[in-house]
């Protein structure tokens, strides 16, 4: 070498050093041999950080390493008691140079920073991606996104207001596949209020046999517990016999002392479905057909619906059901019901002896065939239903949140759109089925029976950001 390079070589021979290769992609921080070091005072150091030692072993160790061997950590800087990490920005020309240096946060300050970037109205209680991105623009620490996700999962405001982005919980259950004969299980419900008819009727009390699909429809002037109890006893139990079990919703009529005492009198097992889970009551499907048929006949005068109610019920009982492939009348009585004397077949032999034993054996065969078809229909329906639902079960004494079904009330200035989506937390005090649970509040008051689709689990620990939030 000659000239300046030779003079450098002679001068550097007096030093003992090793040459270490540094990859080009790592050589992004200027050093004293290439250009002036950026003035660290220009960094935005508005955050108040604790003095070292911080109590965080990882943070203190990084500070020590950067201070002792800064060349081994070209992307780290220690300025006073603050540690910084340099990151590569996506659009460096649109931001200042100091924005590429992130403040490294010790454990003791991380929760406070997440709270300040999640809870205020300017942060909006947003999700994990938005909250972590807001924090990562200014701060750094290992597993930042996981810490944000853990905090948001435990935020009480988020638990109340955010819906679950998952398929509904709870798989399909039914009593139908277990039935072997008619009148084992009845399904009860009320329809109304409807337009008051000329006779003063406003409601329909419907009764449906789950096995045979036999339907009874009774018009009521008032949907009181006394009326429902009297109608059920006189027109159902005393006429067709007492069923083994009845399925019904949680209406006050079916929860009343009058109705419960009637069930106890005839040793009938009550079966109340979960709140806001009408699909568990088989008679709801009958209501859909009844409303459609009534619409076909009432025309513009909706007050005449009660004139056609008995005929509609008769039509349902005398028509073949798609599931059983038989009419409800045949399954219930072992014969079809004639609606006219003209329906007697001209070749019928009335002198033929009535074969009781033969008809009994045939009726047993009918019951077996219907039971088999009910099981097939259940399996077919369950296959498609379960595709869009998840099998999530909750345990006894587990803390959960339930959906809030508060309605809008213009007089109070309340709209359901702005109400919290969930209410709680509550405790499961009884498991009624794999997906039905009775809940109680903190002082032990029952909050009713709820289906798994309306429940979500409380965070697994008690480290929840509890913020007061009044449920309207």
Which pLDDT belongs to residue 34?
A: 55
State the Cα–Cα distance between residues 170 and 162, nearest whole angstrom. 20
The answer as to whether 139 is a domain residue is yes
112 and 249 belong to one structural domain: no
Compute how many other C-beta atoms are within 10 angstroms of the C-beta atom of residue 144.
18
Across residues 225-239, what is the average pLDDT?
Answer: 92
Locate 127 and state its tokens.
């999700």
Label the pairing between strands 455-457 and 76-79.
unpaired
227 contacts 262 by C-beta, under 8 angstroms: no
Query: Total domain count for the chain?
Result: 3
Indicate the pLDDT class of residue 33, thresholds 50, 70 and 90. Answer: low
95 and 144 belong to one structural domain: yes
The answer as to whether 274 is a domain residue is yes
Across residues 100-116, what is the average pLDDT?
Answer: 90
H or E stretch at 248: strand 245-248
381 and 303 belong to one structural domain: yes
276 contacts 249 by C-beta, under 8 angstroms: no
Which pLDDT belongs to residue 79?
A: 85
Local structure of 121: helix, strand or coil? coil
Across residues 396-417, what is the average pLDDT?
Answer: 88
99 and 208 belong to one structural domain: no
Indicate the pLDDT class of residue 406, thresholds 50, 70 and 90. Answer: confident
Could you read off the pLDDT of 332-361 as tens digits, one per residue? 888 888 877 666 666 555 555 555 666 788
Nearest Cα residue to 259 out of 303, 223, 310, 216: 223
Indicate the pLDDT class of residue 47, thresholds 50, 70 and 90. Answer: very low
150 contacts 143 by C-beta, under 8 angstroms: no
Q: Is the predicted pLDDT of residue 472 greater than 50, yes or no?
A: no
Q: 30 or 76: whose pLDDT is higher?
A: 76
Read off the CATH number of the domain in which 411 is found: 2.30.30.140
Q: Is the predicted pLDDT of residue 100 greater than 60, yes or no?
A: yes
Across residues 211-219, what is the average pLDDT?
Answer: 92
Looking at 201-282, list the stretches that DSSP marks H as alpha helix, in order from N- to C-terminal side: 225-232, 238-240, 252-255, 257-265
Q: Is the predicted pLDDT of residue 175 greater than 70, yes or no?
A: yes
Q: Is the predicted pLDDT of residue 131 greater than 90, yes or no?
A: yes
* Block residue for tokens 């406070």: 112
154 and 192 belong to one structural domain: no
Which pLDDT belongs to residue 334?
A: 84
Which of 97, 126, 161 represents a domain boundary (last residue)?
161
220 contacts 196 by C-beta, under 8 angstroms: no
310 and 405 belong to one structural domain: no
230 and 324 belong to one structural domain: yes
Could you read off the pLDDT of 263-293 as tens digits, one per residue? 999 999 998 888 888 888 899 999 999 999 9
Expressed as residue numbers, the domain containing 57 is: 53-161
Using alpha carbons only, give the angle 428, 432, 433 rounded to the nearest 5 degrees: 110
Q: 461 or 325: whose pLDDT is higher?
A: 325
The answer as to whether 190 is a domain residue is yes
Q: Is the predicted pLDDT of residue 181 greater than 50, yes or no?
A: yes
335 contacts 137 by C-beta, under 8 angstroms: no
Across residues 218-243, what is the average pLDDT?
Answer: 92
Read off the CATH number of the domain in which 153 is found: 1.10.340.70
293 and 222 belong to one structural domain: yes
Which pLDDT belongs to residue 434?
A: 86
Indicate the pLDDT class of residue 46, thresholds 50, 70 and 90. Answer: very low
Read off the CATH number of the domain in which 269 is found: 3.30.420.10
The answer as to whether 125 is a domain residue is yes
Across residues 174-197, what is the average pLDDT?
Answer: 87
Which of 106, 128, 161 represents a domain boundary (last residue)?
161
Nearest Cα residue to 191 out of 259, 249, 240: 249
The answer as to whether 27 is a domain residue is no
Q: 470 or 397: whose pLDDT is higher?
A: 397
Nearest Cα residue to 221 out of 244, 246, 196: 196
The answer as to whether 451 is a domain residue is yes
The answer as to whether 232 is a domain residue is yes
Across residues 197-213, what is the average pLDDT?
Answer: 92
Nearest Cα residue to 401 out of 366, 350, 441, 357: 441
Label the pairing between strands 245-248 and 185-191.
parallel
197 and 330 belong to one structural domain: yes
> What does the mean pLDDT of the chain come to?
84
- Sheet of strand 203-209, all strands in order from the earlier edge strand to the far edge: 215-220, 203-209, 185-191, 245-248, 269-272
Which of 124, 146, 161 represents a domain boundary (last residue)?
161
Q: Is the predicted pLDDT of residue 23 greater than 80, yes or no?
A: no
Indicate the pLDDT class of residue 17, thresholds 50, 70 and 90. Answer: confident
Could you read off the pLDDT of 362-391 as tens digits, one per residue? 888 888 999 899 998 888 888 888 888 888
* Block residue for tokens 């948001």: 152
Nearest Cα residue to 172 out of 379, 439, 430, 393: 379
379 and 432 belong to one structural domain: no
Which pLDDT belongs to residue 6?
A: 86
Across residues 176-181, what is the average pLDDT?
Answer: 82
288 and 408 belong to one structural domain: no
Q: Is the predicted pLDDT of residue 122 greater than 80, yes or no?
A: yes
The answer as to whether 203 is a domain residue is yes
217 and 362 belong to one structural domain: yes
Which pLDDT belongs to residue 48?
A: 40
């Amino acid at each position: 070498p000659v000239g300046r390079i030779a003079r450098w070589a002679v001068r550097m021979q007096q030093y003992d050093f090793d040459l270490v290769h540094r990859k080009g992609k790592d050589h992004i921080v200027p050093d004293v041999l290439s250009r002036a070091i950026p003035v660290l005072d220009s960094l935005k150091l508005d955050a108040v950080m604790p003095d070292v030692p911080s109590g965080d072993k990882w943070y203190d160790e990084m500070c020590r390493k950067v201070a002792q061997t800064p060349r081994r950590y070209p992307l780290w800087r220690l300025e006073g008691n603050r540690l910084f990490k340099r990151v590569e920005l996506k659009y460096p020309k649109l931001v200042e140079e100091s924005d590429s240096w992130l403040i490294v946060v010790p454990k003791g300050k991380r929760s406070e920073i997440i709270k300040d970037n999640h809870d205020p109205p300017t942060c909006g209680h947003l999700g994990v991606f938005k909250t972590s991105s807001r924090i990562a623009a200014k701060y750094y620490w290992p597993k930042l996104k996981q810490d944000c996700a853990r905090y948001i999962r435990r935020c009480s405001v988020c638990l109340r207001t955010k819906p679950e982005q998952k398929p509904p919980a709870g798989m399909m259950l039914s009593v139908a596949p277990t039935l072997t004969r008619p009148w084992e299980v009845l399904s009860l419900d009320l329809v109304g209020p409807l337009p008051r008819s000329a006779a003063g009727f406003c409601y329909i009390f419907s009764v449906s046999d789950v096995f045979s699909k036999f339907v009874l429809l009774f018009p009521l002037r008032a949907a009181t517990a006394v009326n429902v109890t009297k109608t059920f006893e006189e027109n159902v139990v005393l006429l067709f016999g007492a069923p083994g079990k009845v399925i019904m919703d949680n209406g006050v009529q079916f929860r009343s002392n009058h109705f419960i005492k009637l069930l106890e009198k005839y040793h009938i097992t009550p079966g109340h479905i979960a709140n806001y889970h009408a699909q568990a009551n088989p008679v709801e499907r009958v209501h859909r057909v009844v409303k459609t048929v009534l619409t076909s006949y009432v025309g513009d005068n909706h007050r005449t619906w009660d004139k056609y109610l008995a005929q509609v019920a008769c039509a349902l009982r005398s028509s073949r059901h798609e599931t059983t492939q038989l009419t409800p009348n045949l399954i219930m009585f072992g014969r079809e019901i004639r609606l006219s004397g003209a329906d007697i077949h001209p070749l019928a032999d009335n002198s033929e002896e009535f074969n009781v034993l033969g008809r009994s054996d045939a009726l047993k065969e009918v019951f077996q065939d219907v039971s088999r078809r009910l099981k097939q229909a259940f399996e077919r329906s369950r296959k498609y239903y379960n595709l869009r639902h998840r099998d999530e079960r909750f345990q006894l004494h587990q803390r959960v949140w339930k959906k809030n079904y508060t309605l809008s009330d213009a007089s109070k200035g309340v709209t359901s759109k702005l109400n919290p989506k969930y209410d709680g937390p509550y405790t499961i005090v009884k498991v009624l089925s794999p997906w039905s649970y009775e809940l109680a509040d903190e002082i032990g008051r029952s909050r009713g029976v709820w289906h798994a689709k309306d429940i979500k689990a409380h965070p697994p620990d008690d480290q929840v950001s509890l913020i007061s939030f009044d449920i309207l």
